[in-house]
Amino acid sequence: MGLLQLCQTAGPAHVMDLLDWLVPPAALDDARLRTRHRGIAKALLTISLVVSIMLLAVAFVRGGMGVAFILFFLACIVTPLIGAVLIRLTGNIGLGLVVANVGGLAIVTAWAFMSGGILSVALPAYLANIALLSTFGNVGLLIAFGVALGAALVLLYLATITGWLPASIFLAGETPGLMLTAMLGSLAIVVLAGYFLARDRALVKVRLREARHAAEQSSRAKAVFLRSMSQEFRAPLGAILGEATNLQVRLPADAAEQQSLQGIVTAGNYLGDLLNQLLEVSRAEADETL
């Protein structure tokens, strides 16, 4: 069985622990990055889980499994897990997705080559992979994988029409049941993995909105504080400037104290200008957050 199913049997707490283990340590303290990495990890683990279920379904349809079938399915189960582990170790989402998708492309192509070429029951897995890849938001990787997938399909077509294919590993009577299994499995991969990614992307948006709201609240509080402080400074500053001006009037023009009083008036006026600028900044910030 896939790792996700094994973890689910152990309880939700163990699933949470496993998903956090697949998050790069540098992203654990960032709620947005942590949520994104967890969504990708769940998507990759879902592929492993669905392929594990498909293994049982194919064994039921065929009435048994040969070594070649088991190896193919094990490769399909392990490849997404390798991608998830690489993302965790390197912190590079693109690298993990490249490994998982290139590995999946190679496995499905080999499987199709051995089971009918362009008419193989393995082909639905191609569409599942590229549909899932489109939800990760990596345009460059999506285009590159699309080109590689197109090339693989052309090669399978040429191999089919020119008779290069070996004898199919499937019997003719098994084809309908195997095709149904492949279609249902591909559908489950796209829907479940896409669901996890979409839900975690929605959580990221909610956290971004909450962070923006908190920043706006903080900005408003700062603006109110600045306005309050500037107004509180005005009363004592006005009293100091008024008294200094009165002393200048009462003292003789040539008194030595006149220079000191003029320094007080100049500094007080400068401080008043700074308070006016501070008040204007606080008003502007308050207007921007409304």
* DSSP secondary structure string for all residues of 104-167: HHHHHHHHHHTTTGGG-TTTHHHHHHHHHHHTTT-HHHHHHHHHHHHHHHHHHHHHHHTT-PPP
Comparing CA positions, the residue from 97, 144, 152 lying closest to residue 126 is: 152
What proportion of the chain, given as a percentage, has pLDDT over 70? Answer: 89
Token pair, residue 252, equals 């003789």
Contact predicate 171/230, CB 8 Å = no
pLDDT value for 149:
93
Token pair, residue 7, equals 């973890």
pLDDT value for 17:
67
Instruction: Identify residue 175 by its one-letter amino acid code.
Output: T
Per residue in 60-99, pLDDT (tens digit) is 877 777 787 788 889 989 999 999 999 999 999 989 999 9
Contact predicate 49/2, CB 8 Å = yes
Average pLDDT, the chain: 82
At residue 165 the predicted structure's pLDDT band, cuts being 50, 70 and 90, is: very high
CA 123 – CA 156 distance, rounded (Å): 10
CA 69 – CA 74 distance, rounded (Å): 9
CA angle 30, 211, 43 (to 5 degrees): 45
At residue 290 the predicted structure's pLDDT band, cuts being 50, 70 and 90, is: very low
User: What is the number of other CB atoms lying within 10 angstroms of the CB of residue 172?
Assistant: 7
pLDDT value for 11:
46
Task: Tell the residue number behind the tokens 């107004």, with chain if given.
Answer: 231
Query: How long is the chain?
Result: 290
Q: Quick one: average pLDDT of 147-168?
A: 93
pLDDT value for 271:
82
pLDDT value for 5:
44
